[in-house]
Structure 1
């Protein structure tokens, strides 16, 4: 079983990725915990390395061992399970998402990694053909986003850091944007046909550039003006699944 010193270059690279909420310089996502490691393996993703805290190393014989102190410095959870995997994300394009029954979810400026992760998870649950993180949105491989996705970030076709103009130029589907003051209800929109669902930022909603192409749809509520971004995305995805004849 290989051991790494606290000053090993790999640990320095991981610390930088954790602090920035991004991939490592070598392009690996940090999948912390047993569940994310299992999800990465199930999705067939490349595992660059597995690191285990010394106190947990007996449960991960294939791991490279680091001190408990070093593990606490790179862990992003309150109660670490003692294992972190470096996972190579999938490589996808718009073409992978533009299937015959395309249902693309677009995150437009969402900053909260927990919300973004929950949207990824809902996208996988309701059969989205892909998820787009427009430029200005949180990094999909932020450790908190990965945890919120429950591993869906390793399975659902995903592209990120895309300029809104490029997306508009390359995707010609109808766009439906969640807007609390829209006149049309989500249930009245044609979500059974190929389309893209736009979820705007928590503070500012859908950007003006995207609004020029999108049709606003509203989720009826009582007593509150708007919903959490992840909740709104889940409801729209469920409605699309319902219209498409989806069943449990």
Structure 2
């Protein structure tokens, strides 16, 4: 059985190969290790192997891990799951990134509740790029208004876009979706400072996402093993 360190190296090698095949600069794609439902001992193993960016889907679980791992000073925590308005304060107090901002109300609460002792909170706008009823996120048509709103919030830094494209689709559909995401990202990247993150791609579509401009892929079970 492979160790977490070995699986982590395999994931990074896969990212490096996909980046090279897409003729993109080395190390231009970051790995976000998705650690939801996994114990802090697993996160410590990944950290010891060099991983620093970790993604959590559930607020309470994530906050407990952040508190447990405070002795790891340069670890970076990303919330990638849905966020309800009654949980924004604890997120604003503990996480460095929120990738799942899908309503102006959520953005405004995060902005107002970010402690002044902390640097601004990095956020991504989540897009529901395939218009799936089961997923959160804005439509592309709603994106400009959200970007304008966040741009006026002093305690947030708008870093980019996050999406979870529809699974089990044809190669043509996948390519259309990823092209649309890339075009939207490039449009705003040229207009906004700090807008440098396109968080798209998981274990099943890493190569396709990187070929279409993803700067951050989110990989969980390939590193930590299957979830219970």
RCO (CA 8 Å, sep 6+): is it higher in 1 or 2?
A: 2
TM-score for both structures, normalised by structure 1:
0.23
Mark the structure with the bigger radius of gyration: 1
Q: Name the structure where helix makes up a greater proportion of residues.
A: 2
TM-score by length of 2: 0.25
